Amino acid sequence: MYPLNLMNPIWKKPLQLFMLLGIWLSSANAAFAAEQINIRYGFLEQSVAVRELERFISTGEIPIELRPYEFMLTPELRQSLRQGLQLNPDISPQALEQMWQSPMGKRLLKVLSKVIPNTNSQELLTTISRASELPQGLNLINFFRAFPTATLTIDAGSILAVKSQLESYYLKSKTLSPALERDLFVSNSPPLPANLDPAAPGNEKVRVKNLTLKDRWRNRSLALKIYTPAQPQGPLMVMLHGLGGNQNALAYLARHLASHGFTVVTLHHPDQTALERSSDEFTLGGELYLPTQEFLERPRDITFMLDQLNHLNRQPGPWQGQFNTQQVTVIGQSLGGTTALTLAGAEFDLERLRTTCRAIDPIGQSLSDWALCNATVLPGRHYRLSDPRVSQAILINPVVGKLFGEQGLAQVKVPTLMISSTADSISPAILNHLEPFTWLGGTKYLVTAIGATHLSANDLDNVIGNKRFRVVSERLGEENKTLQQLVRGVSLAFVQQLTPEAQRYQPFLTSSYAQALSLPTLPLRLTTKLPETLVQRLDQVLQTSQIPAVQPPYPISSPLSRRSVPTTH
């Protein structure tokens, strides 16, 4: 299990470009244009020669000049500093330009200008562009090589403010964990049926086949993986992955549902941009960068797919009778949950989103905000993207934020099952799961995994084998198997509510089932409504101010010289 701490959850590598800028160089052999680094913290300012930083990289010994800043260097961060940062060299300068010209990229440049005083976005963009064209592409070595002056000033206070504010909603979500564990516990929960285990495999033999659908009108190709039982019954399952994910994200759940007689279709949305096409450990296309049109194209992918499957269902051939396209359960993880909500009837509130994204300081946004604010440049105000064939929605750590708003989510009338992880650093639970859950219309269930992370409910083999997911700290321990057992069981019970087996499976949509699987290290809860005490606590947390920036753990004695900092404390 990867350790959870206050630093790791936010080290998405686009953010590292400015979060680490004040205290990191990554090669002892580089020839820098910037030969001196001035680190400013409040009224203090300290100059450090690049050669001293080079010595830190090679030996790990912190220069005397930097010892007052040692409190910033956790063991995890020191290791990261000495390993070096290399963005994927296969990403073309054109793709990087596309990234920086996006709404999120422009906000990144604004943040950089706060961290590096006396620079503006255009100057930084020019430096980044020049660095991208150097051998090995964009990294901090080349950033310093391309910087136009011999002295570079870093505002350490802004670095800490960025860290604190980016962590804000993640940390607030974690502060709610004890209240969720306590207030969602039901002491007198009824016993479960002894002769039924919804998490156990079914009796149907499952076949897995591939199918490709081409939408020539939109120039998009959809790769499908279809799990079919020998005798399909009930609604059609459609699984939607997150940005940077693939068809295998929830493979264990697909096979489980198919073994109980449901046809399951998982699809891979086509690559939208060259930023996502690399299989390198990191691409700019991760959870933060989302092409604007994908808010529209992904729901349209599903509508197109259902139309095509309906056609195949009625034609003689291997797919005849396999797809109940008139009754569909959409199951979405992360951004796939956003798509699932859209298909289930949630309506964008673009005016409110635009207002929110303009009002929030760029460094005050959560990671999900960085992605969702890209929707603000969509033309117009209203889009009709729901599909009447969708009868249920399962949402696993969805990215919701302020995209829909209270009125938009109230338009969801079909039953929903939301699964939330309180230690989710990508889509913090408060803004993306708990508050949106209170706004959903129709029958709804909330599963809360206290201490789980963004990918805890995903297929473990897929997460561990996909280097792309290593850019955030994820909880990948044995507890996840228990969470996935709950996901299998509660998902099957939820889907069975559309079948004659509804009453038999209803007990597994109660607190009894979640609490029966709960662990001391991973408490599990299930509810249909947040208690009023918890709603009030949620409102209080949402209304609190941003977490203050970290203060240095040593006394600031006297501003006699802005070029001198005490080295002992």
pLDDT value of residue 289: 56
Q: 10 vs 115, which has greater pLDDT?
A: 115
Residue 340 contacts residue 393 (beta carbons within 8 Å): yes
pLDDT value of residue 135: 75
Tens of pLDDT, residues 197-253: 999 999 999 999 999 999 999 999 999 999 999 999 999 999 999 877 888 989 999
Tens of pLDDT, residues 447-485: 999 999 998 999 867 654 454 444 456 776 777 899 999
Residue 404 CA to residue 393 CA, distance in Å, equals 16
Residue 459 contacts residue 223 (beta carbons within 8 Å): no
Q: 564 vs 240, which has greater pLDDT?
A: 240
Beta bridge partners of 209: 226
Give the closest residue to 463 by CA, choosing from 484, 490, 448, 447: 484
Residue 528 contacts residue 417 (beta carbons within 8 Å): no
Radius of gyration (C-alpha) of the chain in whole angstroms:
25
Residue 489 CA to residue 256 CA, distance in Å, equals 9
pLDDT value of residue 5: 33
> In this structure, how many other beta carbons lie within 10 angstroms of the beta carbon of residue 503?
9
Residue 71 has pLDDT above 90, yes or no: no
- Measured at the CA of 129, the angle between CA 124 and CA 130, to 5 degrees, comes to 100
Residue 468 CA to residue 19 CA, distance in Å, equals 20
Is residue 190 very low, low, confident or very high in pLDDT (cuts 50, 70, 90)? confident
Q: In terms of pTM, does the model score above 0.85?
A: no
Give the contacts of 216 (CB within 8 A, at least 6 positions apart): none
Q: 128 vs 331, which has greater pLDDT?
A: 331
Residues of 367-392 as b/e, b for ≥16 C-beta within 10 angstroms? Answer: bbbbbbbbbbebeeeeeebbbebbbb
Residue 425 contacts residue 472 (beta carbons within 8 Å): yes
Mean pLDDT, residues 377-405 taken together: 94
Residue 314 has pLDDT above 80, yes or no: yes
Beta bridge partners of 207: 228
Residue 453 CA to residue 397 CA, distance in Å, equals 9
Residue 432 CA to residue 189 CA, distance in Å, equals 28
The chain-wide mean pLDDT, for the chain, equals 78
Residue 202 CA to residue 258 CA, distance in Å, equals 8
Tens of pLDDT, residues 9-30: 333 444 444 444 433 333 333 3
pLDDT value of residue 474: 72
Amino acid identity at 295: F
Say which range, 125-129, 446-450, 529-533, has the weakest mean pLDDT: 125-129
E strand spans, 182-319:
206-215, 220-229, 236-240, 264-268
DSSP 263-293: -EEEEEPPP-SGGG---SS--TTSSS---TT
Q: Which domains does the chain have, with CATH numbers?
A: 8-167 (no CATH), 174-187+196-543 (3.40.50.1820)
E strand or H helix that includes residue 418 = strand 416-421
